[in-house]
Amino acid sequence: MIIADCHLHSEFSSDSHARIADLLHQAVQKGMHCFYLTDHHDIDFPPEAAGGLDFQLDTSRYLDCLSDLKEQYRGQIEIRTGVELGLMSHISDRLKAYTTRYSFDFIIGSSHLVDGMDPYYPEYYKGRSQTEAYRAYFASIYENIQAFQDYDVYGHLDYVVRYGPTKNSNWNFADYADLFEQILKTLIAQGKGIELNTAGLYKGLGYPHPHRDILNRYKELGGEIITIGSDAHSPEYLGYGFGLAEELLLDCGFRYYTLFHDRKPEFLPLG
Ligand SMILES: [Zn+2]
Ligand SMILES: [Zn+2]
C-alpha cells in the first residue's frame, strides 16, 4: 500500500476550497502514514491567464499553520511540508530566492504556463497544430530544468495533453521522443525525479500522468525517483487510483516509489 499522497491542494491554493482538517481526516481514514500538502505558488502568474486566480501562496502563514497541525496530529499522521512551484525559465532567480527563504520537505516543480499562456485555454492552441502546441509545452520544460534545479520532482510532465483540441486521443510518443530524451536524461543527471499524478484518471485521460511511454523511457534511461500524488483539490480525490498506480509502476519495472523528507528521497517498496 502507498503510505502517502505526495500532491495535495487546500484552500491555501486559489483553485481549491478544501479545508486542511478535512484533507487530514481523509488521509487518516485511508490509513496513510504521512501527509503532504503541496499548495500552489506561481510567481509572475498573469491575473488574466486563469480567470483572475492568482496562485500566490501566503507562505509564512501556510508554514505556521502546518507547524501547528504537526503538533496537533502527532501520533496520528506525520505532516510534511510541500509546495508546487510553477516553473518558468525567466523567473529562475526569483524561484531560487523563494526556495532559499523557505524550507520544505518536498518541492514539486510544474509547468502551468508557457509564454504567459495557460494551455488550459483555447488561445494557447491558436495558429498552430496541436502537435506544435504540445511540443512547445515540452520544449519549455527542457528550458525550465536547465534554468532552475531547486526542486525534487517534475510534476505532471504531460499535463498539456488534457487540454488540446483532441486531448490525448492522437497521442504518439514518437512525435515528442526527441524532447523527452533531453528532458528525462537531464532530470536523471541532475538527480531529479518525476511524479505519477493520478489526476489523469479523474480528469478524462483514462490513465495517470505521464503516459506509460514516458514512464517506460524514464525507466530505460535509469530513472528511479518517482513520487505518487493525486493532485486532489478536494478530500474525495485524496489517494485516488493509487492501487492502479502501484500496478502500473510495477508493470513498467519499478520496484520502489519515493517520499521526500527534508528534501531527501526515501525509497519504499512497491507491491
Ligand atoms: Zn500542477
Ligand atoms: Zn497540483
Measured in degrees and rounded to the nearest 5, phi and psi for residue 235 equal: -60, -30
Q: 193: CA distance to ligand 2 center in Å?
A: 16
Domain count for the chain, please give it.
Answer: 1
Structural domain includes residue 12: no
Local mean pLDDT, 10-residue blocks, the chain (271 residues): 98 97 98 98 87 91 98 97 98 98 98 92 94 98 98 98 95 97 98 98 96 98 98 98 98 98 98 92
Q: 39: CA distance to ligand 1 center in Å?
A: 9
Structural domain includes residue 4: no
Q: 183: CA distance to ligand 1 center in Å?
A: 18
pLDDT, residue 216, reads 98
Q: 213: CA distance to ligand 1 center in Å?
A: 20
Instruction: Give the strand pairing for 264-269 and 256-261.
Output: antiparallel
pLDDT, residue 233, reads 98
Structural domain includes residue 222: yes
Structural domain includes residue 2: no
Q: 155: CA distance to ligand 1 center in Å?
A: 6
Structural domain includes residue 3: no
Residues with CB under 5 A from ligand 1 (ion): 110
Contacts of 68 (CB under 8 A, 6+ apart): none
Cα 261 from Cα 271, distance rounded (Å): 22
Contacts of 61 (CB under 8 A, 6+ apart): 12
pLDDT, residue 50, reads 75
Structural domain includes residue 10: no
Structural domain includes residue 56: yes
Counting ligands in written order, the one closest to the CA of 162 is: 1
Q: 229: CA distance to ligand 2 center in Å?
A: 9
Which residue is listed with cell 502568474?
A: 45
Structural domain includes residue 181: yes
pTM above 0.85, yes or no: yes
Residue 178 belongs to domain with CATH number: 3.20.20.140
Contacts of 246 (CB under 8 A, 6+ apart): 2, 228, 257, 270, 271
Residues of the domain holding 118: 20-269
The CA-atom distances, in angstroms, between 66 and each of 104, 165, 190, 246 are: 11, 40, 29, 28
Q: Of 65, 95, 82, 99, whose CA–CA distance to 6 is shortest?
A: 82
Q: 24: CA distance to ligand 2 center in Å?
A: 17
